[in-house]
Homo-oligomer: A and B are copies of this chain.
Amino acid sequence: MQRMTRQRLLIMRIIEDAGRPLSTAEILALTKRRRAGLGIATVYRTVKALGEADWLQSVDMPGSQVRYEKSDKAHHHHFHCRKCDRVFEMHGCLGELHRLTPRGFSMERHEIIITGLCATCLDRRA
């Protein structure tokens, strides 16, 4: 992360504007929509570099591609819409997580993922 290039600025702007975690495919599609496409390898290398710089963090969704979001957010979890495959941020968390951890095991991180239909897909189905 030593030089600021057109590609990096574009990717950072796209992630900041998204309002939800984006996959590399989504990032690439959004660069094309802005008529400023770039190589998929650059997207992968950039999100990796931005992660190492602690500017973004990855969001692993089970059974789906990894998404990326800015790392300056408060602790939160994610909602995965099974219809449009988009991921949304959910505010808050649940206590009592240590209660689930098996005896003798140490908890370092936790993830709560809710799957279902987002508001848009619910509306469209009606």
Interface residues of A (CB under 8 A from B): 58, 60-63, 66, 77, 79, 81-82, 88, 90-94, 96-97, 99-119, 122
Docked pose: A114 CA to B60 CA in angstroms? 13
**A60-B63, A62-B61 given as contacts; is B104 within 8 A of A115 (CB)?**
no
So how many copies of this chain end up in the complex? Answer: 2
Q: Given contacts A62-B60, A79-B105, A119-B105, is CB(A110)–CB(B114) below 8 Å?
A: yes
User: Which of B97, B103, B116 lies in contact with A106, CB distance below 8 A?
Assistant: B116
Given contacts A62-B62, A63-B66, A82-B108, contact A101 B114 (CB under 8 A): yes
A60 to B100, CA, bound (A): 18
